[in-house]
């Protein structure tokens, strides 16, 4: 696994993350446990992605008295999973921001060229007013990630972040070079891609393992 220093790449290299990654990398880990841990890691990634969130002062009443507190405006956020594997991260993020809107981008990989092919795009009507957090467990070649980002930018979105469980150096390089304004939050940067564009050592096909279709 690699260390990567960049202003717009945050690698959450801590003992709990490493422990969780070890479990989901194991080919013998079952679908239920795999799915749950993907959600847990997504929750941790989201906590860090929201460190710069704007807080608004509001007045509430505790059981004792009225007081002023600071809160995030959940309506300012949208989560956009890249189908289908990205949907496995949604539940983990909705635990933090349950009122965020959700868009979907459908991309699949051409097995010969490894390039992403678009088949679905559906966003909230006011997506351009929101901070968008894109979700994909695996950042491999970076093709799907950069295509998804461009679609959102074409839709008028100004602030975008990208969350992945495991990333490849090739994907990190492509995304940061093409979109230096998009911050990446990942649990680990692995060694490389193999000749089939799978991450090494990785964890296999995240979508198949999340949905039990492998």
Closest CA to 82 of 109, 48, 44, 47: 109
The upper half-sphere exposure of residue 45, i.e. CA atoms within 13 Å in the direction of its Cβ, equals: 34
Residue of 25, 31, 43, 205 marked active site? 205
- 208 catalytic residue (yes or no): yes
Cα(57)–Cα(100) distance, integer angstroms: 19
Cα(32)–Cα(45) distance, integer angstroms: 20
Alpha helix stretches (DSSP H) within the chain: 15-25, 31-49, 90-94, 143-154, 169-178, 206-211
Residue of 75, 181, 208, 213 marked active site? 208
Strand duo 131-135 + 116-122: pairing: unpaired
- 75 catalytic residue (yes or no): no
Closest CA to 164 of 26, 19, 16, 48: 48
- 209 catalytic residue (yes or no): no
- 109 catalytic residue (yes or no): yes
Residue of 25, 43, 109, 147 marked active site? 109
Residue of 52, 75, 110, 113 marked active site? 113
Catalytic residues: 109, 113, 205, 208
């Amino acid at each position: 696994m690699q260390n990567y220093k960049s202003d717009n790449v945050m690698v959450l290299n801590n003992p709990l993350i490493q422990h969780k990654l070890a479990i989901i990398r194991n080919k013998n880990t079952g679908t239920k446990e795999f799915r749950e841990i993907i959600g847990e890691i997504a929750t941790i990634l989201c906590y860090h992605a929201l460190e710069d969130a704007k807080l608004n002062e509001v007045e509430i009443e505790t059981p004792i008295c009225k007081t002023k507190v600071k809160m995030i405006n959940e309506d300012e956020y949208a989560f956009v999973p890249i189908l289908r594997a990205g949907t496995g991260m949604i539940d983990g993020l909705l635990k933090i921001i349950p009122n965020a809107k959700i868009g979907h981008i459908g991309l699949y990989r051409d097995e010969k060229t490894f390039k992403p092919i678009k088949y679905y795009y559906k966003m909230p009507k006011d997506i351009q007013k929101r901070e968008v957090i894109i979700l994909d467990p695996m950042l491999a070649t970076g093709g799907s990630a950069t295509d998804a980002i461009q679609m959102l930018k074409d839709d008028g979105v100004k602030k975008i972040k990208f969350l992945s469980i495991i990333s490849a150096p090739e994907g990190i390089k492509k995304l940061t070079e093409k979109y230096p304004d998009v911050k990446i939050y990942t649990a680990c940067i692995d060694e490389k891609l193999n000749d089939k564009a799978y991450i090494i050592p990785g964890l296999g096909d995240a979508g198949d393992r999340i949905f039990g279709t492998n």
